[in-house]
Structure 1
Amino acid sequence: MTPFTPDGATVDEQALRRFVDWQLEVGVPGIIVLGTTGEFLTLSEAERETVVGVSVEQVGGRIPVLVGTMNADTRVAVRQSRRAEEQGADGLMVLPPYYYTPTEDEIIRYYGAVCDAVRLPVMLYNNPVTSNVDMSARLVAELGRRFDNVRYIKESSQDVGRVREVVDASEGLVKVFAGERVVDSYLLGAVGYVNPYGNYIPYASHRIFDLLEAGRIEDARRVQRLIDVIDHTIAAGHPTYGHQCYSKALAALAGHPVGDVRRPLTTFAELGEEGRDRVRRIEAVMAELDDLMSVLDKS
């Protein structure tokens, strides 16, 4: 998430530093700034530089910091990618050019321009809900073969079978990070997990993958079921990507206030009693999740 001051006017640098420290304290293996939950579309160039600079400085090389540098304008995506590299980012996460519904050739040229401009590894981001582009496994494999930077993808097409398709089509060249359904994705070949839940339940949402790698599949499913309850509670009462305002409300509940979202997104305050009721229900699930993690950590 990107913390804002209470009036939403500026990035709250101190809140961002405290938030990064929290992530480090609970042992997350990496962070991504300026993604969908980071409200990248609402930030100015100067604010982007603030978020990247503060995050990189606060992390201090202890874990990787990836930066979302996608844009509908290839020139802007290239400029933002170069600047992220200059500021010390460890990698980029790049959605295909959104809105225009580009052809595959246009997508290839776009990623080619970004890859030519930087030396950083690039995580493709396949999220058709927001980009209006669904990159096929064949196209992902082609991007991996053409560009040495492209070795990862956050796969959020909501088709869990796509995980195996990407692994097979790229012959393992492009490593898949699950965008949802982490347990099923892992069993199909995902090597990591990118998720918005780390913004308010960072310990559980990163430990679930540790459980998977330890072969504790059923324990991981127990964690996943509770995360799914949170996800469904949010989704049932808010439009697509309503998780952004709820994520900020839940982070505050966890002791890390980060302000509210910027318009045009619906603010948590605008949800009124319905939003407060859903947060109360989620709070109970978060407490149950804490209890479960205590049990699993001891077993």
Structure 2
Amino acid sequence: MLFHGAMTALVTPFKNGVIDEEAYRKLIDWQIEQGIQGLVPCGTTGESATLTHEEHERVIEICIEQAAGRVPVLAGAGSNNTAEAIRLVRFAKNAGADGALLITPYYNKPTQEGLYQHYGAIARAVDLPLVPYNVPGRTGCNLLPATLARLAKDFPTIVGVKEATGDMAQASLTIESCPKEFSLLSGDDFTALPLMSIGGTGLISVTSNIVPDKVSQMCKAAAKGDFTAARKIHHEIFDLHHAMFMVTNPIPVKTALALMGRMDMEMRLPLWPMQDADREKLRGILQAHGLV
């Protein structure tokens, strides 16, 4: 199973309005040194919506170059335009990515048949492992277990799903319906451990940007069936999960990384820095964990 364990949904550092390549490379090295098991550039946390096409491609290239095969890179390459998604996935493959993460088409609100045809078209066009990303709270559509099972059966390169509904019943149905080797990755830090307890294979995490060691240890413990150890870490960092979603992601996690001295506190409109009171509350939580 290529995609499993703790994978970080990487932020994209900016400095003076452009990608801060030095900070990004250092973040990638630190993540791998701390035991993270995969990297996901150009997702929501990476502010993919405000990257130009050239920047999107460069962020993926840097991640692949810096990871240098040490961990898998699952490149964010989705779009609500199927032709554009195919272009991005083709680029990711040519750049050397291990797979592509594909958000369900947002705003369009496709039917289940439309979702099947969307992912099927991508799978037919590019031979690369694909992981749909199901987050109805952001996209307005829900990729249902029956549709996922159909996709996994008809297209062997559709190898998993990033599941961010928070619905354990839906996750259970996905596990029951899809092939044994299908990867069920939590897209929600809060529910990662519950999801792994019913058969999930890992997590694409926001919180691991700031505590990659803890998130990795939790996932490794759960994978070994040591849920006593996994629960201990889950509860230890649960307030960090809350802190990372005090306001819209990735505002808090980028602020935390800036407070930790790992990058500038810079994001792109329409995202805006935290209010002073929220930032000080975040600082206090980080201090309690010895992160600042």
Q: TM-score, normalised to structure 2's length? A: 0.91
What percent identity do the matched residue pairs reach?
A: 29
Q: State whether residues 207 and 240 of structure 2, in contact with CA within 8 Å, keep that contact through their aligned partners in structure 1.
A: no
Deviation larger for 195-204 or 175-184: 175-184
- Could you list the per-position Cα deviations for residues 211-253 of structure 1 after superposition, in whole angstroms to 9, with x for gaps in the alignment? 1123321221121123321222454x42xxx231110111123
Which structure has more relative contact order (CA 8 Å, sep 6+)? It is 2
1:243 match: 249
The partner residue of 1:63 within 68, 71, 75 is 71
The number of residues matched between the two structures is 280
1:206 match: 216
Where 1:194 maps in the other structure, the secondary structure is strand
Unaligned runs of 5+ in 2: 1-10
Q: What's the CA shift for 1:286?
A: 2.5
Where 1:93 maps in the other structure, the secondary structure is strand
2:5 match: none
Letter in 1 for 2:148: V
2:32 match: 24
Residues 284 and 160 (structure 1 numbering): CA distance in 2 closer, same or farther, change over 3 Å? farther
1:82 match: 90
Work out the CA distance in 2 between the residues paired with 1:258 and 1:135. Answer: 36
Work out the CA distance in 2 between the residues paired with 1:66 and 1:155. Answer: 15
Q: What's the CA shift for 1:4?
A: 0.8
Work out the CA distance in 2 between the residues paired with 1:205 and 1:285. Answer: 17
Q: What's the CA shift for 1:113?
A: 1.6
Work out the CA distance in 1 between the residues paired with 2:103 and 2:181. Answer: 19
1:114 match: 122
The partner residue of 1:155 within 142, 154, 163 is 163
Q: State whether residues 159 and 183 of structure 2, in contact with CA within 8 Å, keep that contact through their aligned partners in structure 1.
A: yes
- Could you list the per-position Cα deviations for residues 2-48 of structure 1 after superposition, in whole angstroms to 9, with x for gaps in the alignment? 1111x3x2111111111111112112111000111011110011101
Q: State whether residues 234 and 278 of structure 1, in contact with CA within 8 Å, keep that contact through their aligned partners in structure 2.
A: no
Q: TM-score, normalised to structure 1's length? A: 0.89
Work out the CA distance in 2 between the residues paired with 1:178 and 1:225. Answer: 17
Higher helix share goes to which structure? 1
| 2:95 equivalent to 1:92 | no
Work out the CA distance in 2 between the residues paired with 1:194 and 1:217. Answer: 19
Letter in 1 for 2:206: P
The partner residue of 1:177 within 171, 175, 185 is 185
Work out the CA distance in 2 between the residues paired with 1:87 and 1:47. Answer: 14
Residues 258 and 57 (structure 1 numbering): CA distance in 2 closer, same or farther, change over 3 Å? farther
Where 1:225 maps in the other structure, the secondary structure is helix
Work out the CA distance in 2 between the residues paired with 1:121 and 1:258. Answer: 34
Q: What's the CA shift for 1:175?
A: 2.0
2:8 match: none
Letter in 1 for 2:255: A
Q: State whether residues 98 and 128 of structure 2, in contact with CA within 8 Å, keep that contact through their aligned partners in structure 1.
A: yes
Q: State whether residues 40 and 74 of structure 2, in contact with CA within 8 Å, keep that contact through their aligned partners in structure 1.
A: yes
Deviation larger for 109-118 or 255-264: 255-264
Work out the CA distance in 2 between the residues paired with 1:253 and 1:218. Answer: 32
Q: State whether residues 207 and 244 of structure 2, in contact with CA within 8 Å, keep that contact through their aligned partners in structure 1.
A: no
1:264 match: 270
- Could you list the per-position Cα deviations for residues 155-210 of structure 1 after superposition, in whole angstroms to 9, with x for gaps in the alignment? 10011232211010124353211223122111111011111111111111111111
Q: State whether residues 73 and 97 of structure 1, in contact with CA within 8 Å, keep that contact through their aligned partners in structure 2.
A: yes
2:284 match: 281
Q: What's the CA shift for 1:85?
A: 0.6
Which runs of structure 1 show a deviation greater than 3 angstroms over 4 or more consecutive aligned residues? none
